[in-house]
Amino acid sequence: MATTRIPAADVPPGSVTGVGDHAVGNNGEYFAVGRRCRHLRADLAEGSIDEQGCLVCPWHAAAYDVTTGAMVRGPQGGFAKVPGLDAFYRALTRAWPLHRGGVTVDGEDLVVE
């Protein structure tokens, strides 16, 4: 398993960044999840963190629970008006959640696995 070290200062609270195949963020705790949205493969490392600590897709605002990798809100905007689409994507990510990586703090660095 490959590991990558980055300065913890590069991931302040409320931020997300890309580290290899992971979107690494800090919602009060550090997390690492797969970098591609299950909807249209947007780069989640360009996303944001909402008030509930979920990772939000930068393209269509789908939201992911970073502890499980499951989508908790489907794509928004015009996609939100498609009947059944939200339920479909939420069910899809229960079966095929975002990969979750490990993040540990080592001094001033984060170690992402």
Q: Residues 19-74: pLDDT tens digits?
A: 999 999 999 999 999 999 999 999 999 999 999 999 999 999 999 999 999 999 99
- Predicted pLDDT at 62: 95
Instruction: Check whether 1 has a pLDDT greater than 70.
Output: no
Write down the domain spans for the chain.
13-100
Phi, psi of 91 (to 5 degrees): -65, -40
pTM for the model stands at: 0.92
Q: What is the CATH number of domain 13-100?
A: 2.102.10.10
- 110, 17 contact by CB (below 8 A): no
> In sequence order, which residues have a C-beta less than 8 Å from that of residue 27 and are 6 or more positions away?
13, 14, 49, 53, 54, 55, 66
Average pLDDT of the chain is 94
* Of the candidates 75, 73, 80, 82, the residue with the CA atom closest to the CA atom of residue 59: 75
Q: Average pLDDT for residues 86-100, to the nearest whole number?
A: 90
